């Protein structure tokens, strides 16, 4: 009897230690997005919806695997964003939209929450995975942002191959360009003002981005964003995705944010940094800060889009003010979540 009691006590003690060890484990987590906008269930066939969900799941789990093995948050977000950049479903890399002139100009940025080191590229035309070049700018150059030809010259010094711009051609994006130009031409009949004509375009032509935020086992967070920009954009337009503080921000003292939406508003309202500032200086949770900026700040001025946010405790928030946002998350305490439409 005594032997049985001792055995039970030892087993319970071991279980308690195991539970304590698990609860004391440093949290690690990742969240991704593939763009926000007029994403409504009625626009999808069952096969299309399944394909999008599968790709989002692949991206978030690719990044999570890096974290699970003890990898850094920077490596996790880079790996996850590469999956999205390599898919034609999302407006980044292979799925980038067309400029007015029928080409592709890509932007990306990345930020390390430990040091606030950051790297960004804008208007590159021959880089297969812009997020990788943004990281090289952060780690191998003395600058934060490089653009156009200069960014590609830097890429060559780092051994990164250049690709043909038509690598990013897709039929759906080309059809979207033709529709956008048709709408712009119709507007020209009533207005010679390019700005007025462009404002008349449906909001979906003005947004679309991919991004990731992550927390690793060392307690460090990071954020990254990559995009093909705005359909029918002209004059070397650069959106919020490569702008540190607008589309991307990360610091261990507050949070990490990657944004997607109508970039001009996210630049003007410094969205990513504003969210983190509310956490840092006002003591807001990431849920409170994110909702305030996405709903209370942006909606009244006409800003549309969303963000993904993570803090050093592993909390995740995914607020958006559009009909949908491609999104997914996973942590060491929560299973894989994939969402597309509002309310799921």
What are the residue numbers of the active site?
209
Total number of residues shown for the chain: 344
Sequence-distant (≥ 6) Cβ neighbours of residue 338 within 8 angstroms: 53, 56, 57, 60, 327, 328
Contact between residue 209 and residue 227 where contact means Cβ atoms under 8 Å apart: yes
Which residue is listed with tokens 């979207």?
176
CA distance 325 to 300: 20
CA distance 203 to 37: 7
Cβ 119 vs Cβ 139: under 8 Å: yes
How are strands ordered across the β-sheet holding 210-215?
145-147, 118-124, 106-112, 221-227, 210-215, 29-37, 324-331, 334-341
Residue 80: burial class (beta carbons within 10 Å; 0-12, 13-18, 19+): buried
CA distance 261 to 303: 8
| Residue 227 neighbours by CB distance under 10 Å | 31
Q: What is the DSSP letter of 260?
A: E
* Separation of alpha carbons 293 and 332, rounded Å: 28
Q: How many whole angstroms separate alpha carbon 132 and alpha carbon 161?
A: 12
Evaluate whether 90 touches 98 at the Cβ level (below 8 Å).
no
Instruction: DSSP for 98-151, please give it.
Output: PBTTS---EEEEEEETTT--EEEEEEESS-S-HHHHHHHHHHHSS-SEEEHHHH
């Amino acid at each position: 009897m005594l032997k049985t009691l001792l055995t039970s006590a030892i087993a319970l003690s071991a279980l308690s230690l195991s539970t304590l060890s698990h609860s004391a484990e440093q949290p690690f987590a990742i969240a991704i997005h593939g763009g926000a906008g007029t994403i409504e269930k009625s626009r999808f066939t069952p096969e299309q919806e399944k394909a999008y969900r599968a790709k989002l799941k692949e991206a978030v789990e690719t990044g999570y695997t890096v974290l699970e093995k003890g990898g850094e948050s920077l490596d996790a977000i880079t790996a996850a964003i590469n999956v999205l950049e390599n898919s034609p479903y999302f407006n980044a890399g292979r799925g980038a939209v067309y400029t007015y002139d029928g080409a592709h100009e890509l932007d990306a940025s990345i930020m390390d929450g430990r040091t606030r080191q950051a790297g960004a590229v804008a208007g590159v035309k021959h880089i297969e995975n812009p997020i990788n070049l943004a990281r090289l700018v952060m780690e191998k150059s003395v600058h934060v942002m490089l653009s156009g030809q200069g960014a590609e010259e830097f890429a060559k010094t780092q051994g990164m191959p250049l690709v043909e711009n038509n690598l990013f051609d897709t039929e759906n994006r080309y059809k979207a360009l033709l529709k956008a130009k048709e709408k712009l031409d119709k507007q020209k009949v009533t207005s010679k003002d390019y700005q007025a004509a462009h404002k008349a375009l449906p909001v979906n032509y003005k947004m679309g981005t991919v991004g990731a935020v992550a927390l690793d086992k060392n307690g460090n967070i990071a954020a990254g964003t990559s995009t093909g920009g705005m359909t029918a954009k002209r004059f070397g337009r650069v959106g919020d995705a490569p702008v540190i503080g607008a589309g991307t921000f990360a610091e261990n003292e507050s949070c990490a944010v990657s944004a997607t939406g109508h970039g001009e508003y996210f630049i003007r309202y410094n969205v990513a940094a504003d969210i983190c500032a509310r956490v840092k200086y006002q003591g807001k949770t990431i849920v409170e800060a994110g909702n305030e900026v996405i709903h209370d700040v942006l909606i009244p001025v006409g800003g549309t889009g969303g963000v993904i946010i993570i803090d050093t405790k592993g909390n995740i928030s995914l607020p958006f003010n559009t009909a949908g946002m491609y999104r997914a998350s996973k942590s060491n305490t929560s299973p894989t979540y994939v969402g597309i439409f509002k309310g799921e």
